[in-house]
Amino acid sequence: MKIRTALLRCLIILTALLAAPPVAMSKEYGDVVMNRTADSMAKAGVGAVTFPHWFHRIRYKCKVCHEEIFVMKAGANNVNMRDMMDGKSCGACHNGQIAWEMTYCNKCHSAEKEGVGTQSLSK
């Protein structure tokens, strides 16, 4: 009976976590801060992007993104909003069908500065 109750509690917590709307996440070890186009982002009034690599990695195998969408070399990918809106780079999945669409700017453009455990792709 105790095992059944514990499993039910775990299922409820997992369901709540999966049903919760996506939010901008804090930086964790292995996150990538993308700020190559800092000037254009400043003009648009948005911050650098924190890409939660391991958050994605626990859900998908590497080959889902590499080498079909992204080259596995730091600085080798030109990630920009125009391409994403055309379904390239992040937009391949963040299209409103596979993952949330790119209309919530602060979900990605949430980085203020580099922190411990992050790797920057700035020039």
**Cα→Cα distances 37→46, 91, 93, Å:** 11, 18, 22
pTM: 0.60
ω into 114 cis (within 30 of 0): no
Pairing between strand 49-51 and 32-34?
antiparallel
Domain boundaries, the chain: 23-120
> pLDDT (tens digit, 0 to 9) for every residue of the chain, 123 residues total?
688 776 667 666 666 555 544 444 455 667 888 876 667 777 777 778 888 888 898 888 999 999 889 988 878 888 888 899 999 999 999 999 998 888 878 788 876 644 434 444 444
**Cα→Cα distances 77→24, 49, 97, Å:** 22, 14, 24
Q: Which of 55, 33, 31, 26 is nearest to 117 (CA)?
A: 31
Give the CATH H-level superfamily of domain 23-120. Answer: Cytochrome C3 (3.90.10.10)
